[in-house]
Structure 1
Amino acid sequence: MHIEDELTYSQEEQSTPGWQFAVASGLLGWVLDAFDFFVIVFLFDTLASHFQVEKRAIVFTISITLAMRPVGALIFGALADRFGRRKPLMLCVVYFSIVTVLSGFSPNYGFFVAMRALYGIGMGGYWGIGASFAMENAPRKLRGLLSGMMQGGYPFGYLLAAVGMLTIMPHLGWHAMFLVGTLMAAVIVVLTLLSPESEAWKLHRMGSVTTIFKTLFQHMGSFSYLLLVMVVMSCLSHGTQDLYPDFLKSIPSIGSSLVLGMKPLYGIPIIYNIGAITGAVFFGYLSERVGRRRAIMIALVVSLAAIPAWAFGGTVLVLVVGSYLMQTGVQGAFGVIPAHLNELSPDSVRSLFPGFVYQLGVLIASPAVSIEFLLRDHLGYPLALTIFEVLVIVMLLFIFALGPERRGRSFRAKAG
């Protein structure tokens, strides 16, 4: 067995030609997903005015999008475990790009809600395929770093949405924000065409979709633990990101200030998303040295320490520092997740299992944004954000302290 493990490790160190294309397609797809998602965050007031509804009706569409993601994870994850990673990944990208465009040209609020629900299916489908495709093709010694780079694509998409609001919307209008992503979608399709199919999938492929789902239900113990992880991690991420631009708009003392020559509403998110990208890559890399769980817990402590400045900062400088450190920790913890979930997943369902557990966690946590918004009405933004996130971070520290880890496991070793 030891000889087989050494042989497998040696084979994995001999990188599959073209693995860089697979990693790039997984990373860019998550960037595009995040861009299309966070555009809505910056357009709460614009969309509410356009559709003649209250702002909370637009905020509610975020919960709808998040709630539909497990459906996409089931559909596209099963397709990827049955037919390979490449074709389902391309299908998913094309699908959610078309739905995004339709969202931007919705004739009424009802149609917009339907498009955001359909978009959630595509968003949910992409992560499981993209993460398994990237992690299975990546050299094992680079898995943690590339995990961080992939998950860092999410805050990078957020950053691009903020930049787009400053550079594209003033000249082309808000409708254009739903169109520009189609260019990146075309690039992702080309990169996927140039990528090799996953050797790990070829080795562990299942003969039918029925067998795939049966395998999923045979691992309910690990599934339940990882579901708990992703529920609370989703509360961490969306609880610190989705309402923060709206929180910034509620602070009159910073309204006349400039951040990087921009209004704080745009300048601060750009800065804290730079921190998020840095944190995802750094803690992903660190997880190769100190372990997945320990790296995540260190990142969570950074976020916990940032809360006073993040939620109660009275000046632009304090808010910049607090939000930068907050997202460094939040996305630092998330940067380890692609590698950690894939390493804890069964070989034969590595697209469906981590993708579904990730997105089901998002579903269960989907009311988080609406709960925070409701708490804001009673307690004010600073206290609502603080109470919610302190509870979330403390829970995560206990969950990871007691959880399993399989850092560096082989994806190509035969079972048994």
Structure 2
Amino acid sequence: MNTHSPSKIEATPDLFFSGSHWHTVLACFLGWTLDAFDFFVVVFLVGTLAESFQVSKADIVLTLTATLATRPAGAFVFGLLADRYGRRRSLMANVIFYSLIEVLCGFAPSFTVFIILRALYGLGMGGEWGIGASLAMESVPRRWRGILSGVLQSGYSVGYLLAAVAARIILPVWGWRAMFWIGASPALLALYIRAGVPESKAWLRHREASVRAILQTVGRNWKAFCYLVLMMTMMMFLSHGTQDLYPDFLKTAHNISASTVSDIAVFYNIGAIIGAIVFGHLSERFGRRRAMLGAFGLAFVVIPFWAFGGSIGVLAAGAFLMQMGVQGAWGIIPAHLSELSPDSVRGLLPGLSYHLGILIASPTNTIEYALRDHVGYAWAMAGFEIAVILIGGTVIALGREQKGKDFLKGSTAAIRGAP
């Protein structure tokens, strides 16, 4: 529903950045970075938390599952709020919510309370990406959408690196609870958003009059929604299949020490950040799908070095290039999903597709671990990713794109291909 006349809403210039553009991108980047940091804190505290709460490591891993399981619900709730009441206010509410829950995790007196809080945290984590992606992509000039999509998505890898640094610096001195207490810092971001981030002009133009109208729009576009969920499922298989078990793989299959594995993880996350930005930029020149397929191709050709490298140097280089490819494809996702989503549900559809994909792909580690017992660790990792890259590449190639879509006036770009 258009509630503002076209004369009152001017299109975003295609060439220049204003101060409000920088404020918006920075706020959305920091929101995703700090959200990812809060999630990965638990990854670095599995053993410590198990000892503190006197439970098994498997129980602590279950808290990660609880967070993942509630993320789609968070994407749905906060996505609806973003489409009904605006990106800016919804993002502020989301940041305050997940910051509060993170701080409370540091005060958890028992494992039961902790796992409940981590499930609640999943609601906040699920909501942030969709709101941040829609606000950033709707606000920036179209010609900058690709590279800034990569910058935005690289916040996930930056959050991982910050969690790794915190585990080395904060944990030994102040203990595990302080790791969660610093989660209060994102709440300050809400003040920054209020002061420096304007509301999306695209939302002002296309906002619906009711929640029912938003849901009806989703229903009318169910085929597109199903395609986005399928694509995001393959993307989740790709990223989690190359990241989650890789440190354990290096320790178990290649007998590399824990400290060296930690250094390698930092190294390949730097590759991930570079890949997201580089391929995001390339997507402006060659198109979203071609750039994603190029990133898939890079990931495919380095599999022998990533899985079967004969030395630490080869494995590290393979992992660096692997994550350049994997996160290179991911760097295009914020722009690609935003452009494929209907104007009036851009706060809901991308985020919900994203988090339903991760829910469907949640057995990734279980599948790879089961394959390990039959074909060995290296072939389990390599074989799984070969299949994922081939199938995922096909899904992307047969899909469509709307690169350069004008979010204020509707699509002015040719739709290439068909789903």
Q: TM-score, normalised by structure 1?
A: 0.91
What residue in structure 2 maps to residue 409 of structure 1?
A: 405
SS of 1:126 mapped into structure 2: helix
Does the alignment pair 1:396 with 2:392? yes
Query: Which of 247-256 and 228-237 deviates more?
Result: 247-256
How many residue pairs get aligned? The number is 405
Q: Deviations over 1:215-274 (max 9, x none)?
A: 111101111111100011111112222233333343563228xxxxxx213211111110
Q: Secondary structure at the match of 1:360?
A: helix
Q: Distance in 2 between matches of 1:61 and 1:399?
A: 32
Mapped partners of 1:10, 1:92: distance in 2: 26
1:260 corresponding residue in structure 2? none
Matching residue of 1:364? 360
The whole-number CA distance in structure 2 between the counterparts of 1:96 and 1:372 is 31
Equivalent in 342, 347, 351 of residue 346 of structure 1: 342
| Cα distance in structure 2, aligned partners of 1:167 and 1:16 | 37
User: 1:108-135: per-residue Cα shift (whole Å, max 9, x none)?
Assistant: 2222221221111111100110000101
Matching residue's letter, 1:346: P
Does the C-alpha gap of structure 1 residues 50 and 154 become closer, same or farther in structure 2, counting only changes over 3 Å?
same
Question: Does 2:79 align with 1:83?
Answer: no
SS at match of 1:298: helix
1:174 deviation in Å? 2.2
| Residue of structure 1 in register with 2:319 after alignment | 323
Instruction: Say whether residues 1:149 and 2:155 are aligned partners.
Output: no
Once the two structures are TM-superposed, the CA of residue 49 in structure 1 deviates from its matched residue by 2.7
Residue number among 297, 305, 309 corresponding to 2:305 in the alignment = 309
Q: How many Å separate the matches in 2 of 1:118 and 1:9?
A: 38
What is the distance in 1 between the residues matched to 2:59 and 2:399?
38
Change (3 A) 1:316 1:355: same
Q: Which amino acid aligns with 2:22?
A: Q
Q: Is the 8 A contact 2:339 2:405 kept in 1?
A: yes
| Residues 133-144 of structure 1 mapped to structure 2, 5 A cutoff | 133-144=135-146
8 Å contact from structure 2 (residues 150, 278) kept in 1: yes
- 1:149–1:281 contact (8 Å) kept in structure 2: yes
User: Does the C-alpha gap of structure 1 residues 242 and 172 become closer, same or farther in structure 2, counting only changes over 3 Å?
Assistant: same
C-alpha spacing 1:204/1:375, structure 2 compared with 1 (3 Å):
same
Per-residue CA deviations over 1:323-367 (Å, capped at 9, x if unaligned) read 111111111000000000000000011101111111111111122
User: Do the aligned partners of residues 248 and 35 (structure 1) sit closer, same or farther apart at CA in structure 2, a change above 3 Å counting?
Assistant: farther
**Matching residue within 175, 190, 193 for 1:191:** 193
The farther-off stretch of 49-58 and 169-178 is 49-58
Classify the secondary structure of the residue corresponding to 1:196: coil
Q: 1:251 to 1:104 in 2, by over 3 A?
A: farther
- Distance in 1 (CA, whole Å) between partners of 2:292 and 2:382 is 20
User: Compared with structure 1, are the counterparts of its residues 333 and 402 closer, same or farther at alpha carbon in structure 2 (3 Å cutoff)?
Assistant: same
Q: 1:248–1:264: 8 Å Cα contact kept in structure 2?
A: no
The corresponding residue for 2:161 is: 159
Q: Which amino acid in 2 is paired with 1:161? A: A
Mapped partners of 1:221, 1:8: distance in 2: 32
| 8 Å Cα contact 2:92/2:194 also seen in 1 | yes
Give the distance between the partners of 2:49 and 2:30, measured in 1 at CA: 27
Q: State the percentage of identical aligned residues.
A: 52
**Residue pair 2:13, 2:141 contacting (<8 A) in 1 also:** no
Matches within 5 A, 1:199-238: 199-238=201-240
Aligned-partner Cα distance in 2 for 1:348–1:253: 52
Q: How does 1:104-119 map to 2 (within 5 A)?
A: 104-119=106-121
SS of structure 1 residue aligned to 2:255? helix
Distance 1:369 1:362 in 2: 12
Residue type of the alignment partner of 1:169: L
Distance (whole Å) between structure 2 residues aligned to residue 27 and residue 308 of structure 1: 33
Contact 1:63 1:370 in 2 (8 A): no
After the TM superposition, which of the residue ranges 338-347 and 387-396 deviates more from structure 2?
387-396
Contact 1:41 1:242 in 2 (8 A): no
Letter in 2 for 1:330: V
283-292 vs 381-390, greater mean Cα deviation: 381-390
- The one of 293, 297, 312 equivalent to 1:297 is 293
Q: What secondary structure sits across from 1:410 in the alignment?
A: coil
Aligned to 1:26: 28
Match of 2:54 among 47, 52, 55: 52
What is the CA distance between 1:387 and its match in structure 2? Answer: 2.4
Q: What SS is found at the alignment partner of 2:108?
A: coil
Q: For residue 13 of structure 1, report the CA deviation from its aligned partner.
A: 4.8
Tell me the CA shift for residue 205 of structure 1.
Answer: 0.8
Q: 1:244: which partner in 2?
A: 246
AA aligned opposite 1:316: I
1:86-101 to 2 correspondences below 5 Å: 86-101=88-103
Q: Distance in 2 between matches of 1:377 and 1:94?
A: 44
Q: Which range moves more in the overlay, 17-26 or 404-413?
A: 17-26
Deviates more, 1:233-242 or 1:79-88: 233-242
1:265 and 2:261 matched = yes
Return 5+ residue gaps in structure 1 as ranges: 257-262
- Answer yes or no: is the 8 Å Cα contact 1:253–1:314 preserved in 2: no
Between stretches 218-227 and 163-172, larger displacement belongs to: 163-172
Q: 1:380, CA displacement in angstroms? A: 4.6
What letter matches 2:55 in structure 1? V
Aligned equivalents of 2:198, 2:273: Cα separation in 1: 27
1:73 corresponds to 2:78: no
SS of aligned partner of 2:315? helix
Range with greater deviation from structure 2 (341-350 or 296-305) = 296-305
Amino acid in the other structure paired with 1:390:
I
8 Å contact kept, 2:83–2:348: yes
Cα distance, 1:15 vs structure 2: 5.5
